[in-house]
Amino acid sequence: MGIFDFLTGEFIDVIHWVDDTRDTLVWRFEREGHAIKYGAKLTVREGQAAVFVHEGQLADVFTPGLYMLETNNMPILTTLQHWDHGFQSPFKSEIYFVNTTRFQNLKWGTKNPIIIRDPEFGPVRIRAYGTYTIRVIDPAKFLVEIVGTDGEFTMDEISFQIRNIIVSRFSAAIAGSDIPVLDMAANTIDLGKVLAARIAPDLAEYGLEMPMLFIENISLPAAVEEVLDKRTSMGIAGDLGNYTRFSAAEAITAAATNPGAGGMSAGIGLGMGMGMARQVAQEIGPWGPRPATEASTAGAQPAAPAPPPPPPPPPEKVWHIAVDGQARGPYSRAALGRMVGDGSLARDSLVWTAGQDGWKPAGQVTELATLFTILPPPLPDS
């Protein structure tokens, strides 16, 4: 810097910072010999804070606004300098501008799998990743604990440490949550809130705050996911016999449409596939797989399928009858026939059975009408 530039800085002293990097947390105002003119103008914009450090000691913190650096608005720095009122000479201090806005869409993730005890699967390994938001809430503490004398401190310099804190707290939170692995996807929002609350005390020691933390995905190892997919496929397949027939049909179709085989080979393969399908269908049968002893002898001599069992007899229909305003029964049709014979059941007697639309006279019920048409033959002449 030339002598003219130095003198210009002495007579016109405007201190401000415009950040266009989007990743700078702290920036130190550079001035020849760190000389700040008494009465200079300090501009602190929204989303910033200015920290004065005098001879290695933190002096003042200025929030957003326009300031004249004079004795009346710098009490701590005035005490350190032992100024008298009206003292106009420059003073030696360092000014650090701290970005207090939110740094968003920062990534975190588990470098190695986390072992937890799942109530359904037992010990399993899971991975997780997501995003978080960070900001400085105590510029003085952040400068003392993290930045030190770094002239330009970026988010990359602290993001690795924050990720380690998130992963360590996530391991403890997920292990103590007792949430099954299959239900974690439905509880990621609540897990994120719990995790952010556990991280807050650690970040407060550095003057930082984490307004938001999101868990985007929790995944199992590839081998476990493959087994889980098979289990899901079994549930979708349903009946094992139908699934086996379907698989055999797919194998036959694949063999018939194999472009690598000739026409004769395709025909032979199709015939073998159909023979295999018949054997599978015979082995399974219309009522499921046969016992092991029967299946073991099928290779020596095919056995004819067992005849289907006779269908069960239909359930006997019963009726209720109304006698003196009360329902009595149930009675079988044979019992009602005897009641017709002794005169206790007439055509106009009300009857009801399951599936019938209300009470009806017995003579109007198809199943009972024949009981009143069968009359005994006439008595022989004496």
Q: What is the tens place of the pLDDT at every residue in 300-319? A: 556 677 788 887 777 778 88
Q: What percent of the chain has pLDDT over 70?
A: 72
pTM for the complete prediction? 0.54
Cβ contacts of 327-334, under 8 Å, gap ≥ 24:
327/352, 333/367, 333/368, 333/371
Tell me how far apart the alpha carbons of residues 78 and 352 are, in angstroms, rounded to a whole number. 106
- Between strands 41-44 and 14-15, the pairing is parallel
What does pLDDT average to over the chain?
77
Backbone angles phi, psi at 18, to 5 degrees: -115, 115
How buried is 230 (Cβ within 10 angstroms: 0-12 exposed, 13-18 middle, 19+ buried)?
exposed
Instruction: Pick the closest to residue 196 from 133, 105, 129, 136 (CA basis).
Output: 133
- The phi and psi torsions of 118 (rounded to 5 degrees) equal -90, 135
Q: In this predicted model, what pLDDT tens digit does every residue of 87-118 receive, in sequence order?
A: 455 667 788 999 999 999 999 998 888 888 88
Digit-coded pLDDT (tens) for 53-66? 877 788 888 999 98
Second-level CATH architecture of 103-223:
2-Layer Sandwich (3.30)
Give the per-residue pLDDT at 45.
Answer: 92
Lookup: tokens for 149: 């004398």
